[in-house]
Amino acid sequence: MNEVPISLLYTGLVILLLVSAFFSSSETGMLSLNRYRLKHREKEGHGSAKKVLKLLNKPDRLISIILIGNNLVNVAAAQIVTLIAAQQWPEHDIAVIAGGLLLTLALLIFSEVTPKTLAQMYPERIAFPASYVLSPLSIILFPFYWLISHVVSLIFWLLRINRSSEQNDALSHEELKTLVNESGHKLSEERQNMLLGILDLENVRVNDIMIPRPEVVGIDLDDDIETITQQIKSTKYTRLPVYKDDLNKVLGILHIRDAAEFLWADKPSKVMLTRKSSDPYFVPENTSLYNQLFNFQQEKINTGLVVDEYGDVQGMITLADILEEIVGEFTTDELGDTKEIHPQQDGSLVIDGTATIRDINKALDWTLPTDTAKTINGLILEKLEDIPDANVSLKIQDYTLEILQIKDNQVIAVRARTL
Q: Tell me the DSSP string of 291-325.
A: HHHHHHHHHT--EEEEE-TTS-EEEEEEHHHHHHH
- Give the Cα separation of 86 and 93 in Å (integer): 8
Q: Which residues contact 325 (CB under 8 A, 6 or more apart)?
A: 197, 200, 201, 204, 209, 289
- State the pLDDT at residue 168: 57
The residue out of 281, 311, 327 marking a domain boundary is 327
Whether 45 is in a domain gets the answer: yes
pLDDT of residue 142: 87
Q: Confidence class of residue 350 from pLDDT cuts 50, 70 and 90?
A: very high
Question: Per-residue confidence at 179, pLDDT binned at 50, 70, 90?
Answer: confident
130 in the same domain as 11: yes
User: Do 372 and 282 share a domain, yes or no?
Assistant: no
251 and 296 both lie in a single domain: yes
What residue numbers bound the domain in which 258 lies? 206-327
Average confidence score pLDDT of the chain:
86
pLDDT reported for residue 92: 66
Task: Output the domain CATH number for residue 271.
Answer: 3.10.580.10
* Domain end (from 143, 158, 173): 158
Q: Are residues 211 and 285 in the same domain?
A: yes
**For residue 232, pLDDT beyond 70:** yes
What is the number of domains present in the chain? Answer: 3
Residue 418: beta bridge partners?
399
Q: What is the DSSP letter of 288?
A: B
Lowest-confidence segment of 24-38, 254-268, 317-331 by average pLDDT: 317-331
Q: Mean pLDDT over residues 402-409, rounded?
A: 89
Could you tell me the CA-to-CA distances from 98 to 42, 76, 82, 245 in Å, in that order?
48, 17, 10, 99
Tens digits of per-residue pLDDT, 260-278? 999 999 889 999 999 999 9
Phi-psi region of 160 (alpha: psi -120 to 50; beta: other; left: phi over 0): left
- What pLDDT score was predicted for residue 336? 41
389 domain residue, yes or no: yes
Q: Is residue 251 helix, strand or coil? A: strand
Stretch 160-181: mean pLDDT, rounded?
A: 69
Better-scored residue on pLDDT, 284 or 171: 284
Q: Domain for residue 77, yes or no?
A: yes
Residue 83 has pLDDT above 70, yes or no: yes
pLDDT-based confidence at residue 95 (cuts at 50, 70, 90): confident
Q: Is residue 92 part of a domain?
A: yes
pLDDT digits (tens, 9 = 90+) for 121-166: 999 999 999 999 999 998 898 888 888 888 888 888 888 877 654 5
Domain assignment of residue 28, yes or no: yes
Q: Which of 89, 86, 72, 88 is nearest to 16 (CA)?
A: 72
Angle among Cα 189, 193, 195 to the nearest 5 degrees reads 115
Is 58 a residue whose pLDDT tops 90? no
- The answer to whether residue 291 scores a pLDDT higher than 90 is yes
One domain, residues 31 and 130: yes
Split at pLDDT 50, 70, 90, the class of 306 is very high
Alpha-carbon distance of 193 to 198, in angstroms, equals 9
* Cα separation, 363 vs 361, whole angstroms: 6
Q: How far apart are CA 219 and CA 245, in angstroms?
A: 9
* Angstrom distance (rounded) from CA 16 to CA 23: 11
pLDDT exceeds cutoff 60 at 338? no
